[in-house]
Amino acid sequence: MAAVHPEVFYLAQRAELLAGYLRQRERELEESRGEIEGLRVQLEEATGDTGRLRAQLQQRDQRILELEARLNNDGEPPRKRALLYDAKKPLSQCKTSTQAERRRNLQSKFLDPCFSKLPKYIVKANVIFRTDDGADVELKWPQGLLDRKGQPPPVIPATGRGYRHQTEETKDRVQWCVHFKDQATARDGNGASRGVADIIKHHLKMPANQYLLAADEPVVKFRYGIDGRPQAKNNIIGAVMACITPIRSAEEAVKRPRTVKEEYCVFLYSGKEDYEEQVRVGSRVFREMEDIQEFGIQVEVEGVEKHVVIEWYVVSDWKSLSIMLGLVGPTGNYFCFQCYCTKAQITNFRQDRPRRSHEKTAQCLNHRGDTKGHQRLPVLKIPWASFLVDTLHTVLRIGGKLMTQFTGWVIDQDQADKMEKAMCELGITTFYLRKEASREGPSTYKWKNLTG
């Protein structure tokens, strides 16, 4: 191989280096072109977004102009809240006369037309209307022609929140609802009570209840109930209220449902729902109810005294009934408050058991052995059959327990198929009672819970 001249070799090496550098620059140029193309695409997208935002802004400006036109139109009230000020100048920076004028415009053009279209039977009251900008406008709702006593509404409204600032109509309602004639002191707090006979006479003298006194010796039925509720999260402080309520027939109840105004409170105290508290606060009420049950009351009807017979029914939950009757409660051995059934006899439905009474209660308490669930004398001495459990607890709680006991008895008698057939005949097609196997243990019976 012939020797290469050094200058030729140098020129060949330089040509290779220049070719490599040229290829590198071409690659960088291609990358720059790609970036420029990507920026051009982004610029086009941004231009499109700007156009859409500009179109939305124009639509919003058009909507604002339409709302302002509706606000200035006296014939049609606006459908949304109006602002009391121009966006360029807040209401707080306006003059006092300007603020008052804008409030009057809002009252006359927006609030009054809306309230004038409300039905007449809606209960109305004076309120404070607050706009979106935080301005308060005092609104006086149109009142009815007559109040609940048939008198025109008071001209002078209430001047404050206290009792002494209210109108005579409001004061009369407060006195009738929450005024107590005499005071009593409970162990865990204050308690109060009022006369039962006065409440019954007031109820019978109402124009809507005059028909109850049409007979020569009318008989009126009342229900007595008591219940407590916690007043704090820790369930320590509680309030217990006892009320009496007139009882109507099923036809009268459908035509004229009972309202909350017919729930007359007879005593109220702050404390626990136990025997000692009820005796301490409500003893005078209990004695008055017993006298009314035995002797009735005298009511004056058109100048003539009529003797009205009052029948009492005590309707409450099982716990309250057990406390009033002085029994051990639903978890004791003699759990039933109507008969002397025990836990061992709970599934025996064919056995007749003696009924409880006040005479048997005294005999059991004098017996040193088995008292059959009696712990104290009942707080109220009325016929024992008049103590009833309310419908809510009977259907949901007691009914569920009895259904569970009855289903257990059916399983013991091996009559599951007959029970399913009987339920289907009653129209309860979702009920089932069958034996199912499980991985954890042996086969067990499962059935549909009707209280769910």
Mean of pLDDT values over 374-387: 88
Q: Is the confidence at residue 82, as pLDDT, over 50?
A: no
Task: Read off the pLDDT band of 138 (50, 70, 90).
Answer: low
Q: Is the confidence at residue 80, as pLDDT, over 90?
A: no
pLDDT computed for residue 289 by the predictor: 92
341 and 210 together in one domain: yes
pLDDT computed for residue 414 by the predictor: 85
pLDDT computed for residue 187 by the predictor: 38
Does some domain include residue 69?
Answer: no
Does some domain include residue 285?
Answer: yes
pLDDT computed for residue 224 by the predictor: 93
Does some domain include residue 137?
Answer: no
What does the pLDDT look like over 296-305, one tens digit per residue?
999 888 788 8
237 and 345 together in one domain: yes
Q: Is the confidence at residue 282, as pLDDT, over 80?
A: yes
Q: Is the confidence at residue 361, as pLDDT, over 60?
A: yes
pLDDT computed for residue 193 by the predictor: 83
Q: What is the 3-state secondary structure (H, E, C) of the chain?
A: CCCCCHHHHHHHHHHHHHHHHHHHHHHHHHHHHHHHHHHHHHHHHHHHHHHHHHHHHHHHHHHHHHHHHHHCCCCCCCCCCCCCCECCECHHHCCHHHHHHHHHHHHHHHHHHHHHCCCCCCCCCCEEEECCCCCEEEECCCCCCCCCCCCCCCCCCCCCCCHHHCCHHHHHHHHHHHCCCEEEEECCEEEEECCHHHHHHHHHCCHHHHHHHCCCCCEEEEEEEEEEEECCCCCCCEEEEEEEEECCCHHHHHHCCCCHHHCEEEEEEECCCCHHHHHHHHHHHHHHHHHHHHHCEEEEECCEEEEEEEEEEEEECHHHHHHHHCECCCCCCCCCCCECCCHHHCCCCCCCCCECCHHHHHHHHHCCCCCCCECCCCCCCCCHHHEEECHHHHHHHHHHHHHHHHHHHHHHCCCHHHHHHHHHHCCCCCCCEEEECCCCCCCEEEECCCCC
Which of 140-144, 267-271, 380-384 is the least confident region? 140-144
Does some domain include residue 78?
Answer: no
Containing structural domain, residue 184? 180-386
Mean of pLDDT values over 234-255: 78
Task: Read off the pLDDT band of 118 (50, 70, 90).
Answer: low
220 and 288 together in one domain: yes
Q: For the chain, what is the domain count?
A: 3
Mean of pLDDT values over 119-123: 53
202 and 247 together in one domain: yes
pLDDT computed for residue 101 by the predictor: 78
Over the chain, what is the mean pLDDT?
A: 76
Mean of pLDDT values over 251-261: 79
Does some domain include residue 216?
Answer: yes
What does the pLDDT look like over 163-222, one tens digit per residue?
677 777 677 666 655 543 333 333 334 678 888 998 998 888 888 888 888 888 889 999
pTM confidence score: 0.50
What does the pLDDT look like over 416-428, one tens digit per residue?
888 888 888 888 8
Percent of the chain with pLDDT over 90: 5
Q: Which of 62, 79, 111 is the last residue of a domain?
A: 62
pLDDT computed for residue 144 by the predictor: 52
The larger pLDDT score, comparing residue 149 to residue 430, is at 430
pLDDT computed for residue 179 by the predictor: 40
Does some domain include residue 140?
Answer: no
The larger pLDDT score, comparing residue 232 to residue 403, is at 403
326 and 417 together in one domain: no
Q: Is the confidence at residue 81, as pLDDT, over 50?
A: no
307 and 379 together in one domain: yes
pLDDT computed for residue 232 by the predictor: 56
Q: Is the confidence at residue 378, as pLDDT, over 80?
A: yes
Task: Read off the pLDDT band of 90 (50, 70, 90).
Answer: low
